[in-house]
Amino acid sequence: MKKNLFYFLLVLITFCTATKAQTLTGQANAPAAKLALWYRTPATDWMTSALPIGNGRIGAMIFGGISQEHVQFNDKTLWTGSKTVRGAYQNFGDIYFDFPNITTVANYRRQLDLENAISTVSYEINGVTYTREYFCSYPDNVIVMRFSSTGSGNISFDASMQDTHSATPTLAGKKISIAGNLTLLSYEATMSLNNDGGTTSINGDKISVNNANSVTIILSAGTNYDPVTSTYLGVNAAQLHTNVGAQNDLAAAKTYSNLRSTHIADYQTFFNRTSLNLNDTKPTIPTNELRTAYNSGIYNSFLDVLYFQYGRYLMLGSARGMALPSNLQGLWCNSNTPPWQADIHSNINVEMNYWPAEITNLSELHATFNDYIYNEAMVQPSWRAMATSTGNSGWTMKTQNNIFGYSDWEWNQPANAWYCMHLWQHYAFTLDQDFLTNKAYPVMKSACDFWLSRLITDSNGKLVAPNEWSPEHGPRENGIAYAQQLIWDLFTNTIKASETLNTDASYRTNLQAKLALLDNGIVIGSRGQLREWKTRDDDPTEKHRHLSNFMALYPGKAISPLIDQTNADAAKVALIDRGDSGQSWSTAWKISAWSRLLDGNHAHSLVKYALTETYENLFSVGPPFQIDGNFGTTAGITEMLLQSHLNKLQILPAVPTTWPTGSVSGLKAMGNFTVGLNWNSGSTTTATIYSGSGSKCTIYYKNIANATVKDGNGNTITFNTVSPNEIDFPTTTSNTYTISNINFQVAIAPNAIEDGIYKLYLEEAIR
Ligand code: FUC
């Protein structure tokens, strides 16, 4: 209790200081959009309460202050460091808008609408409604801000922009620019103001706007980074200046409503592909209150849906366009010395950032990671040089990576196989032959070359990776599960790729022979547990956050109850040993792992736990903020609804008792299928499957052989019954198949631990 009072006072003091003692009256209603994060107070802290916008390359955090608005912004390419120095991801700059004399406002609301990717601040003064809107446009490549009111001549403020590397802003007319140089890169940002009515003037380092009807503010920003030139530099500083200026001018020449509608149309093309409905209702209380209630045991399935869609929103905000993966914080970062340099971390974090990409129908966004892998493995020299330095061919890397190919801290040689899983999955979901031929296969083959030269034969005649490490604990040993399971996945997928492309027959024969000799990394220990190390039993009290020995369960595919119950049971024993608690990304990983073990209730208890590991703005908690937990949870929720890693559609594989009815549309499955599911305990349950490429469709569900399949014309399809639980049928491209009469049951695995972790958490919180 005392602790709570102290915390309350601290927040109050921070709030008053940060916002220059502002008074809020009234209570704003919920916004019109259902999928929105919203609050009745301004943000008090960048990490925990400001709201993110982004277009995949640039982004900003909006605070929504009343007498002072603060917009902090980033560009994904703004890094110190070089090809030989790690450096760090950087904060770009801060924009401040000072609103003179505004201290008391009514019905304040700050929101982030996930349905149109617009953040809004609104409040009333003397019956006049003031509205600020913020979005980051992909098509126009700028951040757009608009201040307006229901009256005329009401908008007055001072605008300033600060460079986080101490460059002095330059002001001219209605523009403020900052520009400078880091270790390698040059950067520049320009903010332009366009007022309707009123006047503007330059006052020192500020532009003052007086009595405007409305003002549109455009921010363009960039660096001269180029991922494929030998220097990692593209244009020079002078050309960058021209480009950033031109981008701003182009956007500023458009009307606000044009910029806004173009942004919404573009964003919704992606966002609207997938919807999730858990029979939830639109909340009437702000997101912070809803989250607090949820975390104290008042469950609300809306927050599950919001968190699922927030992951998709954050992907669209941080992983589009530029061939660079989202980093540890996506692209949002307010520090020049961020935790782990906000780098590209190869031993779980960057991979997890892309787990939702294919399955939640954002496949194009996967290119920001896959193109980076291709560039670094095939175009740039550093990863190949690293393989050479170990005496092998192909390519590999260490754990911490900057954007200039520099890699350090602990070898992570099997990361090449893990990265290749992403290339293969993009193919498996899209069946894009060009991608497989020109991008994925050459990179996969080169990673195989690395292992073909590196593997050694152990005393049992098995091929093992020597001197490997299980991130991030234990000693180095030969043949640890992490490396073996990943190499097994790489070889299996590369063989399949060469068969699909009908290429490299003799190379494939050799790879098949090596695969037959490869230790697959699935070893069962003395307690029936899936082992982490080949020669030593695991410590059952070890609670390490990394699930490095579970690669074959998730994100891989070699362990499944559908393949071998003994191995699946071993994974379960080891998962129980490992425990449920952990950082948000570790929790997220466990959601998918339990989903793969078909235990919906355990998976859902971890979804609930994941929600406790969030800040008020629903950023996931490392701590501090690390975005992988957001993406991993979105992926985990999807795995509860649909899995296709075995090339069969496992529909509703891990639906918990807490979701007795619901519907989801637009999930993707391997084989280029788009899937909608509508479930209802004890009543009708249907699946709708759109075939994008005319592949054979295999469906797995309990007693699915009793279901009915119809094509888009309503004709009944005669399917092949593989078993009572598995059917398949041929499809034609662009046809939609409806499966009805599915006898739905929630997925409660035998011995499921119902809400175990959640109860534990509550007990701890109460104590
Ligand atoms: C991995 C984790 C750490 C942290 C870091 C960024 O190495 O083991 O906990 O998340 O990434």
Residues 46 and 155 in one domain: yes
CA of 522 to the centre of ligand 1 (A): 24
What angle separates helix 481-500 from helix 415-430, to the nearest 10 degrees? 40
Residues 382 and 498 in one domain: yes
Tokens of 650: 């496992």
pTM: 0.95
CA of 151 to the centre of ligand 1 (A): 51
Residues 158 and 227 in one domain: yes
Residue 649 lies in a domain: no
Is there a contact between 549 and 524 (Cβ–Cβ < 8 Å)? no
- Nearest atom in ligand 1 to 343's CA: 6
Instruction: Tell me the C-alpha distance between 600 and 591, whole Å.
Output: 9
DSSP state of 222: E
Residues 244 and 336 in one domain: no
Helix, coil or strand: residue 99 = coil
Residues 268 and 353 in one domain: no
Q: What is the pLDDT, as a whole number, of residue 748?
A: 53
Q: Which of 507, 523, 539 is the last residue of a domain?
A: 523
The pick from 328, 347, 349 for probing ligand 1's pocket by mutation, whose C-beta has the most ligand atoms within 8 angstroms, reads: 349
- Nearest atom in ligand 1 to 339's CA: 6
What angle separates helix 600-612 from helix 756-766, to the nearest 10 degrees? 30
Instruction: Tell me the C-alpha distance between 136 and 115, whole Å.
Output: 14
Residue 38 lies in a domain: yes
- Would you say the CB of residue 470 lies under 6 angstroms from ligand 1? no
Residues 42 and 181 in one domain: yes
Paired residues of 676 in beta bridges: 688
Q: What is the pLDDT, as a whole number, of residue 5?
A: 45
Closest by CA to 687, choosing from 696, 677, 679, is: 677
Closest by CA to 319, choosing from 265, 370, 273, is: 370
CA of 598 to the centre of ligand 1 (A): 27
Q: Is 655 exposed, middle or buried (0-12, 13-18, 19+ CB in 10 A)?
A: buried
Residue 335 lies in a domain: yes
- Would you say the CB of residue 345 lies under 6 angstroms from ligand 1? yes
Residues 511 and 370 in one domain: yes
Q: Is 354 exposed, middle or buried (0-12, 13-18, 19+ CB in 10 A)?
A: buried
Instruction: Tell me the C-alpha distance between 380 and 374, whole Å.
Output: 9
Q: Which of 484, 507, 523 is the last residue of a domain?
A: 523
Residues 264 and 337 in one domain: no
Residues 351 and 228 in one domain: no
Helical residues (DSSP H) of 661-740, grouped into ranges: none
Residue 728 lies in a domain: no
Q: Which of 250, 272, 294 is the last residue of a domain?
A: 272
Q: CATH code at 420? A: 1.50.10.10
Radius of gyration of the chain (CA): 27
CA of 163 to the centre of ligand 1 (A): 29
Instruction: Tell me the C-alpha distance between 235 and 543, whole Å.
Output: 49
Q: What is the pLDDT, as a whole number, of residue 745?
A: 76
The pick from 348, 470, 626 for probing ligand 1's pocket by mutation, whose C-beta has the most ligand atoms within 8 angstroms, reads: 348
Residues 423 and 354 in one domain: yes
Which helix (H) or strand (E) segment holds residue 147: the answer is strand 142-149
Residue 700 lies in a domain: no
Q: Which string of DSSP letters, residue by residue, matches 502-542? A: T--HHHHHHHHHHHHHB--S--B-TTSPBPSSSSSPPPTT-
CA of 657 to the centre of ligand 1 (A): 33
CA of 223 to the centre of ligand 1 (A): 28
Residues 384 and 515 in one domain: yes
- Nearest atom in ligand 1 to 628's CA: 10
- Would you say the CB of residue 472 lies under 6 angstroms from ligand 1? yes
Q: Helix/strand/coil (H, E, C) string of 252-320?
A: HCCCHHHHHHHHHHHHHHHHCCCEEECCCCCCCCCHHHHHHHHHCCCCCHHHHHHHHHHHHHHHHHHCC
- Residue 81 contacts by C-beta under 8 Å, 6 or more apart in sequence? 87, 88, 183, 184, 402, 404, 406
CA of 86 to the centre of ligand 1 (A): 17
Residues 140 and 229 in one domain: yes
Instruction: Tell me the C-alpha distance between 73 and 160, whole Å.
Output: 13
Q: Which string of DSSP letters, residue by residue, matches 630-678? A: HHHHHHHHHHHHEE-TTSSEEESTT--TT-SEEEEEEEEETTTEEEEEE
Could you list the mean pLDDT of each consecutive 10-residue stretch along the chain, which spans 767 residues? 42 43 91 98 98 98 98 98 98 96 94 98 97 98 98 98 97 98 98 98 98 98 98 98 98 98 99 97 97 96 98 98 98 98 98 98 98 98 98 98 98 98 98 98 98 98 98 96 98 98 98 98 96 91 96 98 97 95 96 97 96 98 96 98 98 94 97 96 87 98 95 98 97 98 70 42 38
Which helix (H) or strand (E) segment holds residue 566: the answer is helix 565-578
Residue 736 lies in a domain: no
CA of 547 to the centre of ligand 1 (A): 12
Residue 745 lies in a domain: no
| Nearest CA, atom 8, ligand 1 | 472
Residue 491 lies in a domain: yes
Q: CATH code at 41? A: 2.70.98.50
Tokens of 168: 């002095």
CA of 330 to the centre of ligand 1 (A): 15
Bond prior to 31 in cis (omega within 30° of 0): no
Instruction: Tell me the C-alpha distance between 311 and 610, whole Å.
Output: 13
Give the domain extent around 31: 22-272
- Would you say the CB of residue 547 lies under 6 angstroms from ligand 1? no
- Residue 705 contacts by C-beta under 8 Å, 6 or more apart in sequence? 721, 723, 724, 725, 726, 727
The total domain count for the chain is 2
Closest by CA to 629, choosing from 581, 585, 582, 583, is: 585
- Would you say the CB of residue 432 lies under 6 angstroms from ligand 1? no
Instruction: Tell me the C-alpha distance between 50 and 70, whole Å.
Output: 9
CA of 401 to the centre of ligand 1 (A): 13
What angle separates helix 301-318 from helix 600-612, to the nearest 10 degrees? 70
| Rounded (5°) CA angle 375-626-663 | 90
